[in-house]
């Protein structure tokens, strides 16, 4: 099992909806392929709209089945951390 932590910074695509979803999907795919333990998604503070979009994406039933839990860091509201729990054979 990997102790690898992946990071996705959404600042470059913050105002392009389709690219945001694509970046999130690719990051989730990479986390699964590398059996990463965590995925840090940096959405920035701003108005909170990008964070809401990220959380809506992560709350989708098909996406939710791919991770263990999500931490919304109270000390740094500019990112969320997605935790994975991989079992053998996954």
Q: What domains appear along the chain, each with residue ranges and CATH number? A: 5-83 (3.30.1370.110)
Q: What is the pLDDT of residue 18?
A: 85
Q: Which two tokens stand for residue 44?
A: 């920035």
Say if pTM beats, i.e. exceeds, 0.95. Answer: no
Q: What is the pLDDT of residue 86?
A: 83
Q: Which two tokens stand for residue 55?
A: 């959380």
Q: What is the pLDDT of residue 1?
A: 45
**Packed helices 49-59 and 17-34: angle between N→C axes, nearest 10 degrees:** 50
Q: What is the pLDDT of residue 21?
A: 92
Report the 10 Å Cβ neighbour count for 51.
20
Q: Could you say which residues of the chain have pLDDT below 70?
A: 1-3, 73-76, 88-90
Q: What is the pLDDT of residue 88?
A: 67
Residue labelled with tokens 């079992």: 87
């Amino acid at each position: 099992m990997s102790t690898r932590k992946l990071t996705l910074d959404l600042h470059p695509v913050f105002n392009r909806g389709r690219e945001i979803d694509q970046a999130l999907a690719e990051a989730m795919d990479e986390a699964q392929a590398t059996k990463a333990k965590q995925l840090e998604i940096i959405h920035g503070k701003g108005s909170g709209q990008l964070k809401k979009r990220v959380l809506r994406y992560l709350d989708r039933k098909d996406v939710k089945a791919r991770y263990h839990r999500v931490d919304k860091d109270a000390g740094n509201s500019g990112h969320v951390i997605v935790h994975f729990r991989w079992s053998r054979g996954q």
